[in-house]
Amino acid sequence: MSQIRRLDPVVADQIAAGEVVERPASIVKELIENSLDAGATRIDIAVEDGGVRTIAVLDNGAGIAHEDLPLAVARHATSKIQAAEDLACVATMGFRGEALASVAAVSKLEISSKPTNAPSGWSIRVEGGHEVQSRPTGRAAGTSVEVADLFFNTPARRRFLKTTRSELNRITEITRVLALGNPLCGFTLRHNNRELERMSPARTADERVAHVLGGDFVNEAIRVDMERDGMRLWGWVGSPNFTRSNSSRQFFYVNGRAVQDYLVAHAVKQAYKDIMFHGRHPVFVLFLDLNAMDVDVNVHPTKSEVRYRNSTGVHNFIMSSIYRSLRTDPTDPDRHVSADMLTTPTTGATATSSLLSATVRQTTLGFDESTNTRTRWWLREAVRTEHDVQTTQLNDELENPPATRVLPPLGTALGQLKGAYILAENDDGLVVVDMHAAHERVLYEELKSYSSKNELARQRLLIPETLDVGAQDAELVEELAESLLQIGLVVERAGPTTVKLREVPALLLTSDLSVLLSDVLDDLREHGRSDAIETRHHHILATMACHNAIRFNRRLTLDEMNELLRKMEVTPNAGQCNHGRPTFRTQSLSDLDHIFLRGQ
């Protein structure tokens, strides 16, 4: 007798549901995304007991026709794509037609909906995948989905849920992630009848970001808006002084879809290299728009990861865009941007329509008006307008310094405090400079600029070093000999698993060469480029700078202090030492007046 039997469809559905519905927050995500796809401008979410008892999501979107209700909860039934080719250019959040079916398989589900022009609404109830009731219902246009008793028929799954608090945290988090990407839509979130979030549709691009990440982040954030090769990156990145101890405040959207992306996190971190305190993580809200054909959204069960056709290109574009954006401040004439890092800042109304081309097909399916599409147009334009205003002001100031400005930006030195700080006066008020940190940055940038001219100087090893790197890496060495040479490594294959290192960059002679080589190979394999050599170079230069910078308690003359201030003004990244600590702070006269209650 056959040992292999077909599973009962109900069991098969429960297994499939496990992929999509891991916990209450996964349901909240799917329901909000459905509402956004339906063009909602208002979404109200109410959950009880961390979402395990009930989850209800109400929207004012396009609604579902009466005859479509049973299909909405059927597996592989969707209104968002029709044919296999459509998968190559998805612009809606959903496309698989399985989210509601999965939720229905492991809960008691009720959907009630009224399309805008329908005379009345209908509701349908499904328990563990079986339809139990369908009836007319009086309601306003839009859709509400209520999920009760999650995992009532899969107790094993239920046992894996965490505490109410922890499930609720995840729900709050995913709501914020989606709200941040869709600021034109209003959101409310209630738990056990208590309101936790209320976000009205945003009127400015900054408003939603400020709501989620705080006003301080927005005030200090640097706006990014770069375009190259049909890709556009825009959004907010935190100043190097606004960092976190983990990467939880990093929000990234690809064609409007919130995704978690290791590649992007790595690229951004690289861009902050040596202007951020060691072990800290940057905060960012970034949107990448590219042709939908160049990104595969169908790679992850919960659609929270994507794959790029040219991942190296995306990595480099993101890194160079952020690098540029972080370093365009008045004290940075961009000297250290190498040619391959140059990207063209966007101008005027070019607004790349990668998104538009993505929606062309889906327009025919009626999804041109999803909330996400509209929002992105608005948000992108708003960011640019707000951003342009700032850029113009910045340039104006650089080219035509205000007539009233008589002192240099970092002022003239008044004296030294406790052997650690320089006090200076500028047009705005008081400048306090950490003299060791500031000198360290000045020296470091000088060393970098000097060594960039000589950094490819290679040194032949007296005795070539044979390294056993394994077959895979040995092959890679053979394949990438040219790229390795470009970063100063002369290395060749010596045997099935061994390679011979003949020359290395002079400054790295004393490094552990086998670790160096394997780091370089790892990078090349994963990201198509390696900064391991440059990073090590910079590390050595940073140590040299630190050891040679003025020490605590060293008395400086006023002339020496002024010389340091003038050097800082022309040094890139002078606002942070190379460990990422701030080098100076200003206290304006009005701040001081405020402290001393003058004029109040």
Ligand X SMILES: Nc1ncnc2c1ncn2[C@@H]1O[C@H](COP(=O)(O)OP(=O)(O)OP(=O)(O)O)[C@@H](O)[C@H]1O
- Chain residues that interact with ligand X, rule: CB under 6 A: 30, 34-35, 38, 59, 61-64, 72, 78-80, 94-101, 143
Q: Which long-range contacts (CB under 8 A, 24 or more apart) does 154-161 make?
A: 154/14, 154/18, 154/106, 157/18, 157/106, 158/52, 161/23, 161/24, 161/50, 161/52
Residue nearer to ligand X on the CB measure, 78 or 320: 78
CB of 30 to Mg ion, least distance (A): 5
Q: Which does 96 bind (CB under 5 to 8 A by kind): Mg ion, ligand X, none?
A: ligand X
Alpha helix (H) ranges present in 8-95?
Answer: 9-20, 24-37, 69-72
Inter-axis angle of helices 532-548 and 435-454, nearest 10: 140
Q: How many Å apart are CA 477 and CA 501, to the nearest integer? A: 10
8 A C-beta contact, residue 372 and residue 306: no
Q: Which does 469 bind (CB under 5 to 8 A by kind): ligand X, Mg ion, none?
A: none
CB of 119 to ligand X, least distance (A): 18
CB of 200 to ligand X, least distance (A): 20
Q: Which long-range contacts (CB under 8 A, 24 or more apart) does 588-592 make?
A: 588/428, 588/429, 588/430, 589/428, 589/429, 590/429, 591/429, 592/429, 592/430
Residue nearer to ligand X on the CB measure, 96 or 380: 96
Q: At CA 29, angle to CA 127 and CA 315, rounded to 5?
A: 145
Residue 296 φ then ψ, to 5°: -100, 115
Give buried/exposed letters for 400-429 (b at 16+ CB in 10 A, else e).
Answer: eeeeeeeeebbbebeebeeebbbebebebe
Q: Choose among 514, 473, 523, 518: nearest CA to 493.
A: 473
Q: Give the contact letters, 31-50, x = binds to Mg ion (CB under 5 A), - = no.
A: ---x----------------
Q: Which does 35 bind (CB under 5 to 8 A by kind): ligand X, Mg ion, none?
A: ligand X
Is residue 250 a contact residue for Mg ion (CB under 5 A)?
no
- Helix-strand-coil split of the chain, %, nearest 5: 40, 25, 35
Q: Which does 253 bind (CB under 5 to 8 A by kind): Mg ion, ligand X, none?
A: none
Residue nearer to ligand X on the CB measure, 321 or 371: 371
Comparing every residue's Cβ against Mg ion, the nearest one is 94
CB of 98 to ligand X, least distance (A): 4
Residue nearer to Mg ion on the CB measure, 99 or 413: 99
Q: How many Å apart are CA 104 and CA 138, to the nearest integer? A: 23
Q: How many Å apart are CA 47 and CA 188, to the nearest integer? A: 11
Q: Give the contact letters, 75-94, x = binds to Mg ion (CB under 5 A), - = no.
A: -------------------x
Q: Which does 72 bind (CB under 5 to 8 A by kind): Mg ion, ligand X, none?
A: ligand X
Residue nearer to ligand X on the CB measure, 88 or 540: 88
Residue nearer to Mg ion on the CB measure, 34 or 370: 34
Alpha helix (H) ranges present in 193-310?
Answer: 205-213, 215-220, 262-272
Residue nearer to ligand X on the CB measure, 59 or 332: 59
Length of the chain: 600
> Which part of the chain contacts Mg ion (CB under 5 A), choosing from 28-36, 119-127, 556-564, 590-598?
28-36
Comparing every residue's Cβ against ligand X, the nearest one is 94
**What does the DSSP assignment read for 429-463?**
EEEEEEHHHHHHHHHHHHHHHHHHHHTT-EEEEEE
CB of 250 to Mg ion, least distance (A): 25
The full 3-state SS of 469-521, as one line of letters, equals CCHHHHHHHHHCHHHHHHCCCEEEECCCCEEEEEEEEHHHCCCCHHHHHHHHH
Residue nearer to ligand X on the CB measure, 100 or 178: 100
CB of 39 to ligand X, least distance (A): 8
CB of 97 to ligand X, least distance (A): 4
Residue nearer to ligand X on the CB measure, 30 or 473: 30
CB of 185 to ligand X, least distance (A): 12
Token readout for 10 is 């109900």
Site for Mg ion in 96-115 (CB under 5 A): 99
Distances (CA, A) of 325 to 82, 110, 217, 231, 342: 41, 48, 16, 16, 11
Q: Which residue in this structure is represented by tokens 């992630």?
A: 177
CB of 302 to ligand X, least distance (A): 10
Q: Which does 61 bind (CB under 5 to 8 A by kind): Mg ion, ligand X, none?
A: ligand X
Handedness of CA 581, 331, 542, 434 (dihedral sign): negative
Give, rounded to a whole angstrom, the gap between the first and last alpha carbons of the chain. Answer: 93
8 A C-beta contact, residue 174 and residue 25: yes
Q: Which does 56 bind (CB under 5 to 8 A by kind): Mg ion, ligand X, none?
A: none
Residue nearer to ligand X on the CB measure, 92 or 573: 92
Residues engaged in binding Mg ion (CB under 5 A): 34, 94, 99
